[in-house]
A and B are shown apart, each in its own frame.
Chain A
Amino acid sequence: MSVLLDVQDLQTRFKVRQGYVYAVNGVSFRLEEGETLAVVGESGCGKSVTMLSLVRLLPPAASIESGQVLLKGADLLQLDQRQLREVRGGQIGMIFQDPMTSLNPFINIGAQMAEPLIYHRGMGKKQALARSAELLEMVGIPDGETRLREYPHQFSGGMRQRVMIAMAMACEPAVLIADEPTTALDVTIQAQIVELVKALRDRSGVAVVWITHDLSVVAGIADRVIVMYAGYVVEEASVDALFEDPRHPYTVGLLGALPSLDGDAHRLTTIGGSPPDLADQPTFCPFHPRCPYAIERCRTENPALEAVADATARGHRTACWVDIRELQSPVVSGS
């Protein structure tokens, strides 16, 4: 497999009245052809801003300070607006969290779906509409031709998300970025959408970046996972290694905080404290105030993301000064 997307040292910050908010602080990762990469973290950890930075869909207050985003070798951060439009919706398809706000309520579904096909693929209107009807059937919306004439309010939440997926897949992108696509949906609808994306991925070979805060969803869909905290990647591993052999205390905390559907009701382990303030670029490990394993070095130096020495699986990296497996019981902090 070859590398499709290679992100190097990406830094994005927001200008605010009091100074800057450092949202993404030197994020690097790779996406290989056909693989599904999950990006996990709590709200405000920079996972969405990272992905929006890739295609420069950022609000005016945000600026990309450094980094490279290589898609098949070409740096997206160096493209001009016209070239960038070719990438957005062409080579990179995106699905967002809230399908209610991502569709235009005044324009019927057909016109919205045909637009990328006309723009990117140079199709005529008739041809684009015919293709759109096919795409609707592909994402499980029967009677596509009739539904194309309908407006977003005539679709349920799950159906709108299917429309979004159909639009994102319309131009056969190489990468599909899904930003919390199931968070706004009920659990039975979530299961439908997850199964749909898996089926589309297996059929078309598209590489998927799946952003979520829900580790349970990750287990079912991802090949590899990166865990983000305070704008840093703190752990990167194959999905099996992450769940069976997590090495960063934050990942351990997240996994312990999950109530499970089987097994006994043990007391949940918690991560004390609250998520960090991003107003400063830390000169220490951003997780140390909440970390039960923190040592002196954590307060003075920010660890880099480095390969785990005795990893059971290839490509397992973590950003932590402490080898948590050497420690028996953590110093419990918080409640």
Chain B
Amino acid sequence: MFDRDNPPLVRVEKLTKHFSVRIGAYGETRATVHALDDISFTVQRGETLGLVGESGCGKSTAGLTLLQLHQPTAGKVFFQETEVTGLSDTELRPLRQKMQIIFQDPYSTLSPRMTIGNAIGEPLWLHELIAKNRVQERIAELLDAVGLNPAFAFRYPHEFSGGQRQRICIARALACEPEFIVCDEPISALDVSIQAQIINLLQDLQETYHLTYLFIAHDLAVVRHISDRVAVMYLGRVVEMAPKSRLFSNPLHPYTHALLQAVPVPNPRQERQRQHTVIHGNVPSAINPPSGCRFHPRCPLAFEPCDHIVPEWREVESDHWVACHAV
């Protein structure tokens, strides 16, 4: 399906993003949110890399910073071996065509005053991708590709359900023929029966248009279903990354292990027999993250170096990366 020997489509090197915030009742104290610290990964052409973690772990920030929608604090991002960090807006624009994003909430990402035809057509004329007299034709084509009636082009977003709106957002992302799409929790806001429709659609489009996805989600079952490889994030850092079969059958990092334990299995007999070891405590604040390994206050395996030495991000076996002192 994808080629591991070729150079990756996207390469992220030690990407870091900190936000300055003011805290306290009157905003009198300055603080730094360590949203993303030192993350590195590659995405191969044609694959889906899943990015999972709990809310506040920095997975969305990773997607946005990778696309230069946030200015990174440090680190580099390469797209087709071209460094995109540090490029000016004009230099970036032709690359943006190739890198698109689908957001979580299809209600707030479509302008209520724009027909969906215009919303989908906007990237076409902005990037001057197509002759004016062919725009309508192309919009119809895109609507058809995402399973909507081309006659809908003249309707407004309020006339559509959540699932249909997400299809419109997908059509808009497809308009400038991207190679890489960041899917930022694209199904979390949708009903269960609609989620499966969108997952199948994304998989079909990947095949038809040879797309590469960074699929961000908090639902491990969905990530397992759609991804080739999976990266697990905890509090701004990637703690483990591996091909999905290996990550789910042989998780090495104690956090990955705990996450898998916490996911309920849709089978009552299995569920009754399963050992339920629950990890205690909450995700700490990213304003003052724990020293050393950020998982150590909740970790059942924590020992001497964990609270002061940041574990190294290393490849323990081919293509299986982990950051933990205990493995």
Chain A interface residues (CB < 8 Å from chain B) = 42-43, 156, 158-159, 186-192, 194-195, 213-220, 222, 239-240, 243, 253-262, 265, 267-272, 274-275, 334-335
Q: Main SS of chain B's interface residues?
A: helix
Number of interface residues of B (CB under 8 A): 47
Closest to B164 in A: A274
Chain B residues lying within 8 Å of A267, measured Cβ to Cβ, are 200, 203
Contact of A186 among B55, B225, B278 (CB under 8 A): B55
B116 to chain A, nearest CB (A): 16
Task: Decide if A186 touches B283 in the complex (CB within 8 Å).
Answer: yes
Chain A residues lying within 8 Å of B197, measured Cβ to Cβ, are 270-272, 334-335
Task: Decide if B191 touches A275 in the complex (CB within 8 Å).
Answer: yes
- A195–B271 CA distance with the chains assembled, in angstroms: 12
B33 to chain A, nearest CB (A): 17
Chain A residues lying within 8 Å of B282, measured Cβ to Cβ, are 156, 158-159, 189
Task: Decide if A335 touches B221 in the complex (CB within 8 Å).
Answer: no
Chain B residues lying within 8 Å of A240, measured Cβ to Cβ, are 268-269
Task: Decide if B278 touches A191 in the complex (CB within 8 Å).
Answer: yes
Q: A270-B197, A274-B161, A274-B164 are in contact. Are A216 and B266 (CB under 8 A)?
A: yes
Task: Decide if B221 touches A261 in the complex (CB within 8 Å).
Answer: yes
Interface flag for B31 (CB, 8 Å): no
16 contacts between A and B (CB under 8 A): A42-B193, A159-B282, A189-B282, A191-B261, A213-B191, A220-B264, A239-B268, A257-B192, A257-B193, A257-B195, A259-B199, A259-B221, A261-B265, A270-B196, A275-B191, A335-B200
Contact of A253 among B193, B248, B269 (CB under 8 A): B193
Interface flag for B258 (CB, 8 Å): yes
- A261–B269 CA distance with the chains assembled, in angstroms: 15
Residue of A159, A218, A255, A270 contacting most chain B CB atoms (<10 Å): A270
Task: Decide if B263 touches A261 in the complex (CB within 8 Å).
Answer: yes
Contact of B265 among A187, A192, A219, A334 (CB under 8 A): A219
B52 to chain A, nearest CB (A): 9
Closest to A257 in B: B196
- A189–B54 CA distance with the chains assembled, in angstroms: 10
Chain B interface residues (CB < 8 Å from chain A) = 54-55, 147, 161, 163-164, 191-197, 199-201, 203, 218-222, 224-226, 248, 258-272, 276, 278-280, 282-283
Task: Decide if A260 touches B258 in the complex (CB within 8 Å).
Answer: no
- A327–B120 CA distance with the chains assembled, in angstroms: 42
Q: A186-B54, A257-B196 are in contact. Are A216 and B224 (CB under 8 A)?
A: no
B229 to chain A, nearest CB (A): 13
A116 to chain B, nearest CB (A): 26
Chain A residues lying within 8 Å of B55, measured Cβ to Cβ, are 186
Task: Decide if B268 touches A191 in the complex (CB within 8 Å).
Answer: no
Task: Decide if A188 touches B54 in the complex (CB within 8 Å).
Answer: yes
B71 to chain A, nearest CB (A): 28
- A255–B268 CA distance with the chains assembled, in angstroms: 13
Chain B residues lying within 8 Å of A192, measured Cβ to Cβ, are 278, 280
